[in-house]
Structures are given as C-alpha cells and as structure tokens.
Amino acid sequence: MASIITVSEVGGPRTITLDADQRRLFERELARIKRGFKAGKGIPPYRIAPGSRVVIRKNGKTSSYLLYDRSVLLQEGSRKTWQFYFGLLLTEWLFK
C-alpha cells in the first residue's frame, strides 16, 4: 500500500498532499538521513516555532514530523532531529 504524505503550514491554511513522484523523493531522502546520520538531541521546547508539519500515513501507522527553519526535521514524540535540506523543496511546494 502506498503511503500518504501531507505537508501543512503550522498555524496557517496551506496544505498539500504529495503526488507519487514527490512522495518517492521524500521517502528516499528521509530514509537516507535516518540511515546515514546520527540524530541530534532535539530542539528545546518553546524556543523556535515550527514552520511546517509533515504527516506520513502508511499501513495504518502515522508518523509526524515538524520542520523548523526549512531545514531541521524533528520527529514528534522522540525529539530526534536531523539536518533535512529536502525541507527547502517541501516548503517551496507548499508555498507555490
């Protein structure tokens, strides 16, 4: 079953659902950073407001991430962070 990935602006009205090509690129980049880089220790709460929320629904499971400053990805619930420069492209698609 294919996953459904939505990107939404936190505190705003904009929301997009990624198409098949965009979804494939996103999943490939997410797998690459999770496999190849050690996760950071998180962002102190209430220091920086997130710009976007990414929700992945696959096989009945939901994963949620927050995108800070277009390039830092935080996995909600675990406080793990990664440098995620693909977030620049996600933000461009969201505000297109």
The lowest-confidence range among 7-11, 13-17, 36-40, 52-56 is 36-40
Q: Which two tokens stand for residue 8?
A: 């939404």
- Predicted confidence (pLDDT) per residue in 35-72, tens digit: 888 777 777 666 788 899 999 999 999 999 999 888 99
Confidence of residue 1 (pLDDT cuts 50, 70, 90): low
CA–CA–CA angle 28, 35, 4 (5° rounding): 35
Distance of alpha carbon 86 from the chain centroid: 9
pLDDT at 52: 94
* Domains parsed from the chain with CATH numbers: 4-94 (3.30.1490.410)
- pTM equals 0.87
| Alpha-carbon distance values, 45 to 41, 49, 51, 79 (Å) | 12, 9, 14, 10
